[in-house]
Amino acid sequence: MRIIWAAGLLALTSSPSIAEIDSGIEQMIADMTLEQKLGQMFLAGVPADGDTPLNVGGVIFLGGQLRDISTVPTRVDALQARSAVPLIIAADVEGGYVNRLKSHPDLMEMPSATVLGAGSSEDAYAWGVRAGATMRSIGLNCNLAPVLDVAGTGHLASSERVYGDSPARVSEIAGAFVEGLNSTGVAAIGKHFPGYGEVAGDSDHSLVVTDREAEDFESQIEAFTGVGDGLSGVMMTNVGFTTYGGIPAPFSPELVAMAHNNGWLAMTDDLAIPALQEIASDGPEAVVARAFLAGNDLLLTTWPLDAATAPDYIGTLLALVSEDPTLHSRVDESVRRILEVKARMGLISP
């Protein structure tokens, strides 16, 4: 596997076939140590500057790290140079209230999902292109957007983070936005699977559990499947559903499998939030262990893994897999999905 990283963008030396990519990915997996594989499963906070090797699958830039846009390209290039496998570089650029690039002159006026939902698919596509081009210009290659929750009321609707209350309308407008992102080479992660819906509570701050009939589940998921192959993956909601044990979706093997059965990589929401720490009372390591055992592929944490106060997430998973060798194949499945997404993004090529 030959990977070239130049001037913050990947330079591909050829256009490999699907078979060549698959073969290259399998070889990469075979060549990795277990610790390297587990590192690929983390989308973590931006680490401190330095030149030590970086063993994560990607990093997430938060709002405070994107206020001074002029520093971002250099920082991204430095991060990529420290990683043996090109990194997913992510941020939340939904528009409206949740727009980590609102300090960028090209995206200061980016409308909310609700405003886009009231407009045309052409406008949504144009904003997808604009957001994607802006992200790529500073080295970001993955948007943790769009929100595909279907709601007319509730927490997400009140903050204008939803495109509408109809699955067809949500998938039409969000799908156009995703198409715009993809046209610039930016991956899209749809959230919050299998649908936050019209829940009133904020699952970032406390456990939110809701009853949902099978018909309502199908309606919510329809918005995700309507966008389909445009999504590189889905982010699991932290809402719990009584039908699935009342635990947050990232802890539910059944709901994670539902994402996989639709062909998507499954990503957690931030595992560092207080609500999840309270549920897994044995500490932050217990949170990541539960999310891992449930089958999630990318484990999102805003903790930089090299921080002195960060939990030993990779060590925790190393211990788990060492105790249960049957988990090796489960790790390979997740790493395969992650590398397939990276190949689709143009980050890796045989």
| String of DSSP letters for 35-63 | HHHHHHTEEEEPPPSS-S----SEEE--G
Per-residue pLDDT of the chain (350 residues; tens, 9 = 90+): 333 333 333 333 346 677 778 889 999 999 999 999 999 999 999 999 999 999 999 999 998 999 999 999 999 999 999 999 999 999 999 999 999 999 999 999 999 999 999 999 999 999 999 999 999 999 999 999 999 999 999 999 999 999 999 999 999 999 999 999 999 999 999 999 999 999 988 888 888 899 988 888 899 999 999 998 999 999 999 999 999 999 999 999 999 999 999 999 999 999 998 888 777 767 889 999 999 999 999 999 999 998 888 889 999 999 999 999 999 999 999 999 999 999 999 999 85
Give, in order, the Cα–Cα distances in Å from 221 to each of 49, 176, 241.
40, 18, 14
Residue 8 contacts by C-beta under 8 Å, 6 or more apart in sequence? 73, 76, 77, 80, 139
With beta carbons less than 8 A apart as the criterion, state whether 269 and 236 touch.
yes
| pLDDT of the residue at 13 | 38
What six digits make up the tokens of 88?
């997913």
| pLDDT of the residue at 277 | 77
| pLDDT of the residue at 255 | 96
| String of DSSP letters for 106-153 | TTTTPPPHHHHHTS-HHHHHHHHHHHHHHHHHTT--EE---B----SS
Q: Where are the alpha helices (DSSP H) in the chain?
A: 18-31, 34-40, 72-81, 113-117, 121-137, 155-158, 167-183, 214-227, 253-261, 274-279, 284-293, 313-323, 327-344
Domain spanning 5-344, CATH class: alpha beta
In angstroms, rounded to a whole number, what is the distance separating the alpha carbons of residues 96 and 114? 9
- Locate the domains of the chain by residue range: 5-344
| pLDDT of the residue at 21 | 82
Q: CB-side exposure of 248: number of CA atoms within 13 Å?
A: 31
CB atoms within 10 A of CB 155: 21
Pairing verdict, β 98-99 and 93-95:
antiparallel
With beta carbons less than 8 A apart as the criterion, state whether 149 and 80 touch.
no
